[in-house]
């Protein structure tokens, strides 16, 4: 099964937005720092997410991105689809040219599996993920790490100045 980095990062970034909903617009720099995704890559992803009306941008100081719909109304499959990705279990990327340009014996089996996975991901909303204890624990750890990093920079600057 193949889910590319693009699809994984898009879901991760959207979940980050959902976790921080209600705190105003979230900057891509904040998502980048928390999730370890390059800022330029996030900009590309968010252009697609915006075109597919999953997020909207707020310009100006304190600007950033917000979910365009309620987090319970956005499912994981929709996010993956928005960045032009698919969950594909076939070896031929669903083209049907698996075996010397023709369909192989198991092509339809893997297509059915891909459809099942897409259906499964369609049943999981961002709100469902936000409620998970494991997601909450990771988000808390990431929040603590991003709050302590500026303090560590200040402490190291003060130590080197003395």
Is residue 36 assigned to a domain? yes
Least confident of 113-117, 133-137, 140-144: 140-144
CATH value at residue 56: 1.10.10.10
Instruction: Tokens for 60, please give them.
Output: 């100006």
Instruction: Tokens for 156, please give them.
Output: 């190291």
CA-CA distance, 80 to 74, in Å (whole number)? 11
Is residue 139 assigned to a domain? yes
Pair 90, 6: CB distance under 8 Å: no
Is residue 114 assigned to a domain? no
pLDDT at residue 1, as a whole number:
61
Pair 21, 65: CB distance under 8 Å: no
Please write the tens of the pLDDT for every residue from 72-109: 999 999 999 999 888 889 989 888 998 999 999 999 99
pLDDT at residue 156, as a whole number:
46
Please write the tens of the pLDDT for every residue from 107-117: 999 999 999 99
Say how many domains are in the chain.
1
Is residue 96 assigned to a domain? no
Residue labelled with tokens 């980050």: 16
Is residue 97 assigned to a domain? no
Instruction: Tokens for 118, please give them.
Output: 């897409």
74: containing domain:
5-87+125-156
Is residue 111 assigned to a domain? no
Please write the tens of the pLDDT for every residue from 5-50: 999 999 999 999 999 999 999 999 999 999 999 999 999 999 999 9
Is residue 99 assigned to a domain? no
Is residue 102 assigned to a domain? no
Arithmetic mean of pLDDT over the chain: 90
pLDDT at residue 75, as a whole number:
98
CA-CA distance, 149 to 95, in Å (whole number)? 47
- Dump the DSSP string for the chain: -B--HHHHHHHHHHHHHHHTTTSS-B-HHHHHHHHT--HHHHHHHHHHHHHTTSEEEE-STT-EEEESS-GGG-BHHHHHHHTT---B-SSSTTSS-TBTTB--TTHHHHHHHHHHHHHHHHT-BHHHHHT-HHHHHHHHHHHHHHHHHHHHHHHHHHHHH-
């Amino acid at each position: 099964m193949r889910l590319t980095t693009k699809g994984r990062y898009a879901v991760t970034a959207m979940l980050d937005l959902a976790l921080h909903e209600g705190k105003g617009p979230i900057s891509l720099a904040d998502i980048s720092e928390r999730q370890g995704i390059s800022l330029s890559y996030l900009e590309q992803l968010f252009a697609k997410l915006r075109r597919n009306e999953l997020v909207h941008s707020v310009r100006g100081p304190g600007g950033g991105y917000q979910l365009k719909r309620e987090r319970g109304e956005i499912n994981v499959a929709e996010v993956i689809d928005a960045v032009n990705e698919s969950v594909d279990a076939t070896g031929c990327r669903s083209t049907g040219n698996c075996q010397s340009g023709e369909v192989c014996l198991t092509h339809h089996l893997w297509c059915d599996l891909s459809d099942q996975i897409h259906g499964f991901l369609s049943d999981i909303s961002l709100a469902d993920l936000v409620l998970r204890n494991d997601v909450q624990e990771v988000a808390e750890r990431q929040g603590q790490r991003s709050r302590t990093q500026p303090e560590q920079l200040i402490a190291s600057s003060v130590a080197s100045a003395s």
